[in-house]
Structure 1
Amino acid sequence: MFDCSKDLLAFHKAEVALPKDERDNMRERRDANRKRLKDGLAKAKNAAPWDQASQGSYAMWTMVQLPDGDHDIDDGVYFLRDDLKGAQGADMTALAARQMVRDAIDDGSFAKKPEVRKNCVRIYYAEGYHVDIPVYRVTIGKDVFDKETYLYELASSDWKKSDARDVTRWFNDKNKERSPDFESTEGQMRRVVRYIKFYVKSRASWTGILSGFGITKLVTEKYWANADREDVALYETIKAIRDRLQFNLVVTHPIQGNGDITNGVDDARARKLKEKLDDALAALKPLFVHNCTRETALGCWDKVFATKFFCDRLESKKSEEAAALSASRVMTDGLLSAAA
């Protein structure tokens, strides 16, 4: 396979990974909402949160740059069960808890009012961003050894045992365990997740593809580490996922008891992902031809990611070499003139 590893790493840094200033802006919005929520709860004389924690791709550092800028942050809020009581002292319903959070955070500053959704409260921003706030209750008990236990439940259609932080810990552990470069970088497995997530978002016309979470789970299943070749690691992982989906479209949730990410044995979104991975592998076939040129190889990666980044690197290199050659000739001509 023609070596484009350095080019792929450059592409990841420039076009795929979320820039620091963008993460910083998202964190500022998250923190502003945390303060807004606490102030609103206090104003309504409701209990303060027991904890707040970022979740999802933001917490796992698997976010990618998107053309429409529609990034979302999941920022869970946790309340003690004893603090979530109705007027008569009974447990607050899951819907009432979400409504309480929606009312507290709606201070009138949003152009579009925050919305109660099935699994969260959603806050919309004019720039296309949104922040999802899942609401949890925490029941603290003790086991037979008198050690504290914690039961986390998500306010969904009812209270459902769940804690998205378990997913964050699961992924971070897998990335640390399996990435050969984890000690010196953020982890190759994390980058491979980003490449594939970026790929499936690279065309506006591509819809109905498996979620980023589903892709993340598949990468942890089929990741091919390669400390020396970033491009080989990505190619082999794509191929392994494609082969896996060829025979089994079911993608299970990584945390036991949470069911499947996909819907049934013939999930349309998983099938669509397989088809797009087929397309990527077909586009990369010329890289395995024995006389493949650098220009051809870079063109293949451009085709995969619907970009001009790779071939632009080639043109930039040619321009630099031409400029260096021109400068060398000028210097040589000057020396010859002086000698004459």
Structure 2
Amino acid sequence: MFDCAVDVRAYHDQDVTLPKSEQDAMRDRRDSNRRRLRNGLDKAGKPKPIEFVKQGSYAMKTMCRDPDNDYDIDDGVYFHKKDLVGDRGAEMTSLQARWMVRDAVDDGKFKRAPEVRSNCVRVFYEKGYHVDLPVYRRVVTDTVFGEEVHHELAASSGWKRSDARDVSDWYEDQRAASADGIQLRRINRDLKKYARSRYSWRGSILSGFGISVLTTEKFRANDREDRALYDTMVAIRDRLNWNLVVAHPVTPGDTITSGSDDAKARCFREKLTEAIDTLKPLFDADCTREKALNCWDKVFATTFFGERLEEEQRASVAAPAIIGSAALLSATAAAASAVSSAGGGRHA
């Protein structure tokens, strides 16, 4: 396979992963929402949250750069179950808890008001991104062995046993157990970027979480970044050829996909096959750097790789001129030094 490892890594670092400035901005938005929610709950005389827990791709650090700022920041808000009671003392339903959070976080300054969704409260921002606030309650149960604690999500179906930390902990365990946890995360981002590289795919392809699960399952570490990405693509595609079902990693019995012929998993499999086919020329004995980089451009629907080649070509043309100028300056300086040493200057 023609070696484009440096180029694939450069693409990840420059066009896939979020720059620090964007990460800082997301953290600021998260923190401002937390302050807004605390203030709103306090003003309304509602229960105070006991903690906030970041979750999803934001917590796993697998978010990808998006030209339309279509970012989903998940920040779970937790309450004590005993505090979540209505005006008449009855236990709050999951819907009531979500509405409580929605009303508290809405300070009237949003262009689009926050909305209650099936499993969270969504806060919208003008630039296109949004913050999701899943609502949890902490349940303490007395047993013969002492207190047992678990958490429940305010879901559309009612209070559902779940904890935002479970998925993040699972992902970190998978990275720690892999041959290269840092590279695994990069390949994970690359695959999510590929799945969102065409707007027409976005509603029909496997979710980012599903891609993360498959990446941890079939990751193929390699000293060459391009081989690691390619080999992982092939391994996932082959796995989906065998079975389209993707199990939820922390909820026994649950699946991320729907049924044995899930359309979104099938779509991801088809797109991986397209990418693998597009990269076939890289295995030809006469493959050139130009051909190889053109293939990677086609895979990610970008011009990044071709532009790198153009920059290299411009630099190679400019280099002889720069070297020549440097040599001329050096020769001139040497001649001037020789004249000065011989006492042949104008003021000798």
Equivalent in the alignment of 1:303 = 298
Q: Residue by residue, what CA displacement relative to the aligned partner does 1:9-40 show, whole Å, maximum 9, x if unpaired?
A: 11111000011111111111111110010011
Q: How does 1:106-185 map to 2 (within 5 A)?
A: 106-146=106-146, 148-157=147-156, 158-180=158-180, 182=181
Q: Residue by residue, what CA displacement relative to the aligned partner does 1:226-281 show, whole Å, maximum 9, x if unpaired?
A: 1x111111101000111111121111100133600001111100011011001100
Q: TM-score, normalised by structure 2?
A: 0.91
Q: How does 1:223-234 map to 2 (within 5 A)?
A: 223-226=219-222, 228-234=223-229
Once the two structures are TM-superposed, the CA of residue 330 in structure 1 deviates from its matched residue by: 4.0
Q: Which of 192, 197, 218 does residue 222 from structure 1 map onto?
A: 218
Cα separation, 1, equivalents of 2:326 and 2:239:
59
Q: Which of 207, 210, 230 does residue 211 from structure 1 map onto?
A: 207
SS at match of 2:39: helix
Q: Give the residue type in structure 1 aligned to 2:55.
A: Q
Equivalent in the alignment of 1:273 = 268
Count of aligned pairs = 332
Equivalent in the alignment of 1:239 = 234
Q: Give the residue type in structure 1 aligned to 2:221.
A: A
Once the two structures are TM-superposed, the CA of residue 200 in structure 1 deviates from its matched residue by: 1.1
Q: How does 1:1-340 map to 2 (within 5 A)?
A: 1-146=1-146, 148-157=147-156, 158-180=158-180, 182=181, 187-207=182-202, 208-226=204-222, 228-257=223-252, 259-331=254-326, 335=331
Q: Give the residue type in structure 2 aligned to 1:172.
A: E
Residues 70 and 129, structure 2, Cα contact 8 Å, conserved in 1: yes
Q: Give the residue type in structure 2 aligned to 1:218.
A: L
Once the two structures are TM-superposed, the CA of residue 44 in structure 1 deviates from its matched residue by: 0.9
Once the two structures are TM-superposed, the CA of residue 50 in structure 1 deviates from its matched residue by: 1.1
Structure 1 residues 21, 332: closer, same or farther in 2, change over 3 A?
Answer: closer
Once the two structures are TM-superposed, the CA of residue 288 in structure 1 deviates from its matched residue by: 0.7
Segments of structure 1 that go 5 or more residues without pairing to the other structure are: none
Please identify the structure whose Cα radius of gyration is greater: 2
Cα separation, 1, equivalents of 2:21 and 2:144:
49
Once the two structures are TM-superposed, the CA of residue 141 in structure 1 deviates from its matched residue by: 3.2
Cα separation, 2, equivalents of 1:251 and 1:164:
19
Moved more, 75-84 or 324-333: 324-333
Once the two structures are TM-superposed, the CA of residue 332 in structure 1 deviates from its matched residue by: 5.2
Residues 53 and 164, structure 2, Cα contact 8 Å, conserved in 1: no
Residues 138 and 150, structure 2, Cα contact 8 Å, conserved in 1: yes
Segments of structure 2 that go 5 or more residues without pairing to the other structure are: 339-348
Q: Give the residue type in structure 2 aligned to 1:37.
A: L
Once the two structures are TM-superposed, the CA of residue 90 in structure 1 deviates from its matched residue by: 2.1
Moved more, 288-297 or 232-241: 288-297
SS at match of 1:205: helix
Structure 1 residues 330, 260: closer, same or farther in 2, change over 3 A?
Answer: same
Cα separation, 1, equivalents of 2:18 and 2:205:
21
Cα separation, 2, equivalents of 1:332 and 1:211:
57
Q: Residue by residue, what CA displacement relative to the aligned partner does 1:157-201 show, whole Å, maximum 9, x if unpaired?
A: 200001121001101111122142x4xxxx011111100100111
SS at match of 1:160: strand
Cα separation, 1, equivalents of 2:170 and 2:143:
24
The RMSD of aligned alpha carbons is 1.8
Cα separation, 2, equivalents of 1:83 and 1:258:
31
Q: Residue by residue, what CA displacement relative to the aligned partner does 1:278-326 show, whole Å, maximum 9, x if unpaired?
A: 1100111011112211111111111111111112112211211211111
Q: Give the residue type in structure 2 aligned to 1:301.
A: W
Cα separation, 2, equivalents of 1:154 and 1:26:
24
Moved more, 230-239 or 198-207: 198-207
Structure 1 residues 179, 68: closer, same or farther in 2, change over 3 A?
Answer: farther
Cα separation, 2, equivalents of 1:188 and 1:294:
24
**Percent of counterpart pairs with the same letter?**
55
Cα separation, 2, equivalents of 1:166 and 1:16:
26
